[in-house]
Amino acid sequence: MTRKNTAYIVAAAAAFAYIDTAQAQAVPFSKSDIYFELNATDGDIGLHGILDGDSWKVATIKGPGGAFNVLRAVPNQASPEFGMTELFFESNEPPLEERSFAELIALFPPGAYKFVGTRAEDNARMTGGDVLSTAMPCPPIMQTPRLVDGDLMIRWRPRAGSYNPDTGVCSSANPVAVAAYQVVVELADTRTGFTRKVTVDLPPGARKVEAPDELLIGVIPANTEAKAEVLVIAPDGNRTAIEIDFDL
């Protein structure tokens, strides 16, 4: 065997050893979620996703069977060890009259979505995955928030079933379970443009929440635009929101 061929074999063996080592060190993303989020009040819906983990320099989210890329992210590599950790994205959300839910799921069909990446520090392979579903929870029935003895109360009651964003119908067929609620309250000062915001995550049995007292300190009701939102979160991550403007 010639010296040239010997050198080639040694180099090839080293390359395969590097690949095997990198794959052996494969680490999971700490978070890899993909889901639909519907605003039932405004009538729009979009695709959202979250990935998180060790610092990565390339990350890709692949559709079912690897048929297409939902997202490919490559951070600005100022140095070989520079990378990103957490990434949240959401698609544009045109009104359902312009792009129906049926059209959206034709672009992003239900199924297993794969998250793959390369860790910045050692080129180790990073993996994750999530299942995208088309089952949407029904929006809750929300009461107008009001002050009760100086405390801001947000109340709602759930609706069982599954929701069709295109028809606006909550059907008793194939009911979607509730995994959690998320409540968001915003108070915007119309003079300064300053916005106060609080987000509270709650268990599935919750039916009300009291905003923190600190949210109202120094607020002048006549100069404040107030909005509250309740999101119903399904076990698969899909969520349906309803929001309401109110006066303090």
138-179 pLDDT, tens digit per residue, is 999 999 998 888 899 999 999 999 999 999 999 998 899 999
183-238 pLDDT, tens digit per residue, is 999 999 999 989 999 999 999 999 999 999 999 999 999 999 999 999 999 999 99
Q: Into how many domains does the chain fold?
A: 2
Q: Within this chain, do residues 211 and 176 fall inside the same structural domain, yes or no? A: yes
Q: Within this chain, do residues 173 and 109 fall inside the same structural domain, yes or no? A: no
Q: Within this chain, do residues 128 and 142 fall inside the same structural domain, yes or no? A: no
CATH classification of the domain holding 15: 2.60.40
* Residue that terminates a domain, selected from 132, 167, 194: 132
Number of residues that this document lists for the chain: 248
Q: Within this chain, do residues 147 and 220 fall inside the same structural domain, yes or no? A: yes
Q: Within this chain, do residues 88 and 166 fall inside the same structural domain, yes or no? A: no
Q: Within this chain, do residues 67 and 36 fall inside the same structural domain, yes or no? A: yes
Domain coverage including residue 68: 3-132
Looking at residue 26, its pLDDT comes to: 81
Q: Would you tell me how many other CB atoms lie within 10 Å of the CB of residue 89?
A: 15
Q: Within this chain, do residues 43 and 97 fall inside the same structural domain, yes or no? A: yes
9-59 pLDDT, tens digit per residue, is 343 344 334 444 444 568 999 999 999 999 999 999 999 999 999 999 999
Is residue 181 over pLDDT 90? yes
